[in-house]
Amino acid sequence: MPSKQPPSFGSQAYWNERFAANTDPFEWLEAPNALDPHIVDALDATPTPKPELLHIGCGTSLLSYHLRSHVDAPRQIHNLDYSEVAIEVGKIREQEIYQDPRRDIGEAACMRWDAVDLLDYQSVMRACKRAAYSVIVDKSTCDSIACADDVLVPLPYPLAIRSYEPLDLDAAKTPELIHPLVVMAVNLALVTKPGARWIALSYSKDRFYFLHAAAKDVIPQGAAFPHPGDLWRVVDKREVDEADWQVRNEDRADAVTHRPKVCNVVYTLERTHQPLFVRGEHL
211-222 tens-digit pLDDT = 987 777 899 888
pLDDT (0 to 100) of residue 20: 86
DSSP β-ladder status, 133-139 and 53-56:
parallel
pLDDT (0 to 100) of residue 21: 87
Tens-digit pLDDT profile for residues 250-263: 444 444 444 556 68
Please tell me the pTM assigned to this model. Answer: 0.87
pLDDT (0 to 100) of residue 226: 94
Residue type, 194: P
pLDDT (0 to 100) of residue 245: 41
Where is pLDDT greater, at 185 or 7?
185
Tens-digit pLDDT profile for residues 140-183: 999 999 999 999 999 999 999 876 555 555 556 789 999 999 99
Tens-digit pLDDT profile for residues 24-73: 888 989 999 999 999 999 999 999 999 999 999 999 999 999 999 999 99
Residue 1 banded pLDDT, cuts 50, 70, 90: very low
- Domains of the chain in sequence order: 12-278 (3.40.50.150)
Give CA–CA dist 264/38, Å, rounded: 14
Average pLDDT over residues 200-209: 96
pLDDT (0 to 100) of residue 246: 43
Q: In this structure, are residues 54 and 78 in contact, taking their beta carbons and an 8 Å threshold? A: yes
The 3-state DSSP composition of the chain as helix, strand, coil percent (nearest 5) reads 30, 20, 45
DSSP β-ladder status, 192-202 and 133-139:
parallel
Where is pLDDT greater, at 15 or 89?
89
What is the per-residue DSSP string for 127-178?
HS-TT-EEEEEEESHHHHHHTSPPEEEEES-SEES-TT----GGGPEEEEEE
